Chains A and B, each alone.
Chain A
């Protein structure tokens, strides 16, 4: 809830437009890279939610996808490979007043940062996490990732990858405290936008896996789904993403799915063909770490002084209490 005064301020201020969220840098992604669509969706979201650029932070790890913060005219933190989530948790716990977004790649999140991924779901800090899943290591020029389909030919698997990919959705849903799990694809911008705005509005960690095209190293990977819209499964619910008539015309395969139904969400996540898009699961009741830890309470000089003096008292020998020799 926004305090009244803040509300008034908001209406008084000029609303932002898209350009307010574009940094002066021109994105350096390849032509046709799905990261461009994700960036656009994020800028739209910021504008529509009227986020103050100075109160918004985009955190990322390392990878092509992790370049995203540089292209936002907000605060940004381009961290180290795999560590976007703990950095973002620190930002949010230190400054609960900031809106914090995370961009992470499939290598970043599911491999080197895998421990942080599971624990982030456990902490359930209010973060919007975008997994840019292109099924490959892009920045390091084509090595197999944890989501590379079996048989993927890459620089580290020239004869084809031999390990089955992991399914980030089922794993995420397997963590009891996961509070928002969704899937989107970069080539249906409308749905992508709807999913991330629901993710943003969710209080808690929202995990959005975005299937992202990497034409450079995985050309045509998603073509079967792009070319055959029937192979997409759109999840629709009054309490989730609603599929309008225009979309339904292109993507006839729409299924009503209640995001509070965890068992159904798991069943949907198991299947990759047809490819589910929408909100799989949401539970706004999962406690957030920042609430549980009562952060954001005002610490005054007086409070520190009193706390310190009281603690020192426990260790103090006062001259008047000491024995006289």
Chain B
């Protein structure tokens, strides 16, 4: 079905059918530089302020300036809005706005559009002076129609031209106005959002954009025969809406860490960029080192001499930090390392998310180097995990690795505004004299914990070293000293482990299938599980935040289910491949860990498609697994 809404007949406004829906997924797509991103973000903010739950994802082309009207150049946002709390980007889109037909093609091919999806398409290309463009448009349009999408061609350019000379700048606000109309959002909030978005620019810019917004809204009111209402909830507590990387940056500030050393790498860089701005006013240093090896060494030096420091990176940079991480473990210097994972190995898929670094986080660097690994499971967790990580690093004088990934980095979600507590901050650096006779590595027999002497403390002079050493920090190659050090460094993990509480099972305590996940996939997994449970399936899930050490009680949980699988965004061999059998199958990272620790036959389902998990995909995988179990 295709509809070309002719302007000539504009005065006869269609009767508008308003449909109540529980939620919708909207995508706004353009060439990069046309402002779809800004439109999507503003739309999400307005929706959030209207009391909708939201989750937004960025759609980012891999190149900086991809050619205009190219399939790979799609840039924009996906906004999932609903009545309650939204925890992931969802399945396929219900409505897509596209500034040209090419940016749609890739999304269609990837299966990102729901059958019958509404497509609001810029129509200017149909009459383009370049016949090739006009032809491409006509062909793509015909294809979209043939696929059963409801394509509505909209003369956005023509309408915007009435207000601005270059609609490439401004069309996005016209679209924002249309979306406000389609989703019954308050235009007043729209105007406020524009003022916020263009805050630093002059009033004229804001006025122009507000006019474009109003024009888009009026146009939709007059020409579109559909609108949707989605339930809202009254906002009673202040909420913050930010993406995972912003939450990491704010969390670092809130943790009291004052020094961050980094080397730019996608998708981690924006954490440090944000932190640089914050430290500008609050004090503190973000050091852009010459490489990740130096960044890690710099952070270790800074930590050694004062408060715990942080170094932030992604996969390739994480590889380069390995020797430094081992040094911090060995010399027992607190250090927080953030790895915002991306597709690997090597340069891999720089702009795409993956959970491929778990094993290198757990076991990276040579020798026995026990370190703490925790994975953030959502945007809010990005904030609080940094406070936890700093505190653990300093209490146990060791390395804490925090794993996030590309799908949280730029995803936005509201969460309750954190209420600042002084306890979050690091205590002042101890400069008191060291008691007579105290030794630099005075390991507690039971826990391996000791009080670190920090430069400036009279009487505490000693040389820390990455070489095997005794309690005086003297180089010691003898077997007893070596094992003494290994033992106490290892005990610290057990000491921390004793303080951890077991994560709660999502669903019933036993059943046919348990899904275990870690990191960013929590929302999508739990949504899939909730759906299946509602249909009567005996499925539950367990999400791990601390992965090293693992809290007590997990083994018992695994054993209460007939079948256990992990769901992870990394690679595992498919048992369906001809060469693959139980003797050679490579399991997903967490599955491997759980199998070895609990001696439970944990299976896995993985996907490495370079995109955030969809609850629908997980659902299908779990149904498969349940069917197998039945046949079993």
Chain A residues within 8 Å of B, Cβ to Cβ: 23, 25, 52-55, 57-59, 62, 69-70, 72-80, 83, 85-95, 97-98, 115-116, 118-119, 293-295, 297-299, 301, 303-312, 315-319, 321-325
Contacts and interface: CB of A to CB of B under 8 A. Distances in A.
A304 B420 CA distance: 9
Nearest to A98: B455
B234 interface: yes
Contacts, number: 211
26 contacts: A54-B455, A54-B457, A54-B458, A58-B463, A62-B466, A72-B463, A73-B461, A75-B462, A78-B465, A79-B327, A80-B466, A86-B298, A87-B298, A91-B301, A93-B287, A116-B290, A116-B297, A299-B283, A312-B240, A316-B417, A317-B241, A323-B49, A323-B186, A325-B51, A325-B233, A325-B234
A92 B278 CA distance: 22
A173 to B, nearest CB: 20
B261 interface: yes
A123 to B, nearest CB: 9
B239 A308 contact: no
Nearest to A74: B461
Contacts of B422: 301, 305
Given A88-B301, A94-B258, 14 more contacts: A52-B458, A55-B456, A79-B327, A86-B294, A86-B297, A90-B287, A90-B301, A93-B302, A94-B301, A295-B285, A311-B253, A312-B240, A315-B240, A322-B234
A90 B298 contact: yes
A292 to B, nearest CB: 11
Interface string B273-299: 000001001111101011101110111
A236 B317 CA distance: 47
Contacts of A98: 305, 455-456
A308 B461 contact: no
Task: List 6 A-B pairs, minimum CB-CB distance, nearest first.
Answer: A90-B301, A76-B463, A307-B282, A86-B297, A94-B302, A90-B302
Contacts of B458: 52, 54
Contact of B300 (A87, A92, A118, A325): A87
A69 to B, nearest CB: 4
A92 B239 CA distance: 40
B463 A69 contact: yes
Interface in B155-202: 185-186, 189
Interface string B227-268: 000001111111111100010001001101011010000000
Given A90-B305, A323-B50, A305 B238 contact: no
A90 B253 contact: no
B380 to A, nearest CB: 12
Nearest to A95: B305
Contacts of A55: 455-456
A91 B466 contact: no
Contacts of A73: 461
Nearest to A299: B283
| Residue from A85, A86, A90, A295 having most chain B Cβ neighbours under 10 A | A90
Contacts of B305: 57, 90-91, 94-95, 98
Contacts of A119: 289-290, 294
B390 interface: no
A211 to B, nearest CB: 25
Given A25-B474, A77-B301, A299-B283, A94 B250 contact: no
Given A322-B51, A322-B235, A315 B461 contact: no
B464 A77 contact: yes
B545 interface: no
B378 to A, nearest CB: 15
B324 A83 contact: yes
Contacts of B302: 90-91, 93-94
B460 interface: yes
B134 interface: no
| Residue from A55, A62, A69, A94 having most chain B Cβ neighbours under 10 A | A94
A95 B49 contact: no
A29 to B, nearest CB: 13
A95 B301 CA distance: 10
A18 to B, nearest CB: 15
Contacts of A319: 234-238
B239 A317 contact: yes
Interface string B290-320: 1101110111111111110100000000000
